[in-house]
Chains A and B, each alone.
Chain A
């Protein structure tokens, strides 16, 4: 089975621009979560989607948004980029997400650099 894939792997943008990151979950997985990882803040939960609906949301500003398609693929968008948005953005998929017994499978991440 193919793992979680994320595109692009690396991205360089300038302040004020917007960016869209893509995540393809493992086949059959319906839950997709997004995380931001920085040296200072560690791994922070952004949001989780299940069956095209956002089910959970972390404490990030409205500039961070996402969506999930009917095939469970997900995209994350960041508008009006700031220098502090430079981070590794990780996507994780799981079968359900609503169960307490859940293994998340992480993708390799997208390294975003904002200049």
Chain B
């Protein structure tokens, strides 16, 4: 199973764009990259998923380079409510999901 590495924490200010990079050097051909967001005392919430290049939805963008050994979650114009832990996961069929330590994002006013 591919292991992921993310920064432990990041600080930002309201209105800024935040980019969180995750490395997954051992990603397999069939693996997808998924990001989740978790607020305290709640279950994680799906943000975005991709396989290669760029994926965008109403919440975030996900950039994946050609070698797929890393990915970057981009949150445009963050607000205080985006303060949370963000997890990068690599999914493989068979569904044994491994969460890493996550990145604690703190957005300041």
Cβ contacts under 8 Å, A92 to chain B: 43-44
Label chain B's interface by main secondary structure: loop
Tell me which of B17-25, B58-66, B72-80, B95-103 binds A: B95-103
For window 39-54 of B, CB contacts with A under 8 Å fall at 41-46, 49
How many chain B residues touch A (CB < 8 A): the figure is 24
Say yes or no: is A18 at the interface (Cβ < 8 Å to chain B): no
Q: How far is the CA of A88 from the CA of B44 in the complex (A)?
A: 12
Label chain A's interface by main secondary structure: strand
A103 and B97 within 8 A (CB): no
A residues lining the B interface (CB < 8 Å): 4, 31, 33, 35, 42-45, 48, 50, 55-56, 58, 88, 90, 92, 94, 97-109, 111
Given contacts A4-B43, A43-B102, A99-B93, 10 further A-B contacts (CB under 8 A): A42-B100, A45-B96, A45-B97, A50-B95, A55-B94, A56-B96, A88-B41, A90-B43, A100-B91, A101-B49
